[in-house]
């Protein structure tokens, strides 16, 4: 059976066997190493890595392979012999325990004035977990689509809470029609979830000002982080930049108003998608800040470029994983 040696960015070597019939990602999990991944179906690109030596085959995939020789997606990669693989993450980013599986009841479904769909799920009390919604703002859960093996990654839009409520926000696109249709058909039924997942979380100990940017589905983690700061009664300066189709119309005002009340130091700016100059102006409002960006790849690239132009020190920007709701839903639509 082929052996895999996976080397992290900080030089830790993980070894595990991989029967040729399963992917390197699955084999790592069987050995107790939970590598960063989202879709597990070659769509999101999160599990990218480089094979340094050894032969392998790649199953069909939609996400681009990482550049350079040996670029692979571990969820699509099957070894033909022993492999040495360079992982893009540090050892601390690799989980050592199985991602918790939970059940929840589908509750309220609402449409915001902006046309977004909000789904609220209520976690069922289970063993050691109780009924608490115990996660860090910015993380996501995977929701199993009933009757399928497809797990849809969705970021929570609310703060952790003892009531067991998880709120998900879906942008007004084709996937929302699907989500609303599914929700209407199955409201009140039990759904399977796993998580929380992801390390896109606030550095609560940092004394620096915070700048939170969200676009598309990335608005949800930004709202979750603001809600968490409001619960903490945080008083560090926070500037929120939201990508909106129309910067001159209210956007999530019903949610932002109470957050402004709880966080008097909060400022919010709306920036139209693709307006690099406006984005740079907003980013320049905070000096020596911690930046958090969630949303589509072009937004994240624009943030990186703007921060570089503003001479911000590297390492102050945290990027949310590409949850790729749109591509995941494309697969879902084919099955529902
Ligand atoms: S987890 Fe492999 S491409 Fe998404």
Pairwise CA distance, residues 135 & 133, whole Å: 6
Kindly give the number of the ligand 1 atom that is closest to the alpha carbon of 63: 3
Q: pTM of the predicted model, to two decimals?
A: 0.80
| CA 48 to ligand 1 centroid distance, Å | 7
Distances (CA, A) of 211 to 215, 232, 269: 14, 17, 11
| CA 74 to ligand 1 centroid distance, Å | 7
Distances (CA, A) of 111 to 119, 165, 252: 9, 17, 11
Q: What is the pLDDT along the chain (336 residues), one digit of tens a residue?
A: 999 999 999 999 999 999 878 999 999 999 999 998 877 888 878 899 999 999 999 999 988 899 999 999 999 999 999 999 999 988 888 888 778 889 999 888 788 888 888 889 999 998 777 888 999 999 999 888 777 777 788 899 999 999 999 999 888 764 544 555 555 556 777 889 988 988 899 998 899 999 999 998 899 999 999 999 999 999 999 999 999 988 888 899 999 999 999 999 999 999 998 899 999 999 999 888 999 999 988 999 999 999 999 988 777 899 987 765 544 444 433 333
Pairwise CA distance, residues 277 & 282, whole Å: 9
pLDDT digits (tens, 9 = 90+) for 124-137: 998 777 888 999 99
**3-93: in CATH 3.40.50.1100:** no
Asked if domains 3-93 and 210-319 share a fold, the reply is: no
The count of residues in the chain is 336
Q: Which CATH number fits domain 210-319: 1.10.287.110, 3.30.365.10, 3.40.50.300, 3.40.50.80?
A: 3.40.50.80
Pairwise CA distance, residues 227 & 258, whole Å: 9
Residue spans of the domains in the chain: they are 3-93, 101-198+324-333, 210-319
| CA 42 to ligand 1 centroid distance, Å | 4
Candidate of 23, 27, 29, 39 to mutate for ligand 1, largest count of ligand atoms within 8 Å of Cβ = 39
Q: Which residues line ligand 1 (CB under 6 A)?
A: 37-40, 42-47, 63, 73, 75
| Fold of the domain built from segment(s) 101-198+324-333 | Elongation Factor Tu (Ef-tu); domain 3 (2.40.30)
Kindly give the number of the ligand 1 atom that is closest to the alpha carbon of 74: 2
């Amino acid at each position: 059976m082929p052996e895999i040696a996976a080397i992290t960015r900080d030089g830790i070597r993980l070894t595990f066997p991989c029967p040729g019939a399963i992917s390197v990602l699955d084999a790592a999990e069987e050995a107790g190493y939970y590598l960063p991944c989202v879709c597990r179906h070659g769509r999101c690109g999160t599990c990218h890595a480089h094979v340094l030596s050894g032969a392998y085959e790649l199953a069909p995939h939609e996400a681009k392979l990482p550049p350079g020789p040996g670029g692979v997606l571990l969820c699509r990669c099957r070894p033909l012999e022993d492999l040495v693989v360079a992982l893009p993450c540090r050892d601390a980013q690799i989980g050592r325990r199985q991602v918790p599986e939970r059940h929840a009841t589908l509750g309220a479904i609402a449409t915001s004035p902006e046309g977004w769909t909000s789904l609220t799920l209520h976690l069922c009390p289970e063993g050691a977990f109780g009924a608490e919604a115990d996660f860090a703002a910015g993380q996501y859960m995977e929701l199993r689509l009933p009757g399928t093996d497809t797990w849809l990654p969705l970021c929570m839009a609310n703060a952790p809470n003892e009531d067991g409520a998880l709120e998900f926000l879906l942008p007004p696109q084709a996937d929302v029609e699907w989500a609303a249709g599914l929700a209407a058909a199955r409201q009140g039924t039990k759904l399977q979830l796993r998580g929380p997942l992801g390390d896109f979380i606030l550095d609560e100990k940092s004394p620096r000002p915070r700048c939170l940017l969200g676009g598309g589905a990335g608005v949800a983690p930004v709202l979750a982080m603001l809600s968490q700061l409001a619960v903490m009664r945080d008083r560090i300066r926070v500037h929120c930049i939201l990508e909106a189709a129309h910067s001159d119309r209210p956007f999530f005002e019903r949610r932002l108003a109470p957050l402004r009340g709880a966080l008097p130091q909060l400022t919010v700016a709306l920036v139209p998608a693709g307006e690099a100059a406006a984005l740079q102006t907003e980013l320049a409002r905070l000096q020596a800040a911690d930046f958090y960006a969630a949303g589509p790849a072009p937004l994240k690239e624009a943030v990186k470029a703007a921060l570089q132009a503003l001479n911000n020190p590297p390492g102050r920007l945290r990027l949310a994983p590409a949850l790729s709701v749109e591509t995941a839903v494309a697969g879902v639509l084919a099955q529902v």
